[in-house]
Amino acid sequence: EAQVTQNPRYLITVTGKKLTVTCSQNMNHEYMSWYRQDPGLGLRQIYYSMNVEVTDKGDVPEGYKVSRKEKRNFPLILESPSPNQTSLYFCASSSAETGGYTEAFFGQGTRLTVV
């Protein structure tokens, strides 16, 4: 089954404690991206990657890091989480063949709470 898998689904952590949210896709997609979604706001892009070892900032990259060492994985790293990073996070992937680099598949989301 084609899917994007995020882990964990839920996470509560304390300010300053480094964490990683993993994202994996099994569709051999070139393009992967991370978003955060906050109440009343649309999805906002954090980082994206057009292929292995190619990453770029989205609209809200501050406080986040990513890496793309393998095509299937695109982890999101919060080196020193702060309460304003409490949000619902989505990973997404797409193939260049599906009309350009736009997301065709989203993960189920990771709800992060930083206290």
| Residues that bind another protein in the complex, under the rule CB under 8 A | 4, 31, 33, 35, 40-45, 48, 50, 56, 58, 88, 90, 92, 98-109, 111
Task: In angstroms, give the least distance from the CB of 105 to another protein.
Answer: 8
Task: In angstroms, give the least distance from the CB of 82 to another protein.
Answer: 23
Which DSSP letter does residue 73 get? B
- Choose among 74, 69, 70: nearest CA to 58: 74
The span from the CA of 97 to the CA of 115, in Å, is 42
The span from the CA of 76 to the CA of 61, in Å, is 11
Identity of the residue numbered 11: L
Nearer to another protein by C-beta: 59 or 79? 59
Q: What angle do CA 84, 35, 86 make, to 5 degrees?
A: 20
Nearer to another protein by C-beta: 40 or 62? 40
Task: In angstroms, give the least distance from the CB of 28 to another protein.
Answer: 18
Nearer to another protein by C-beta: 67 or 101? 101
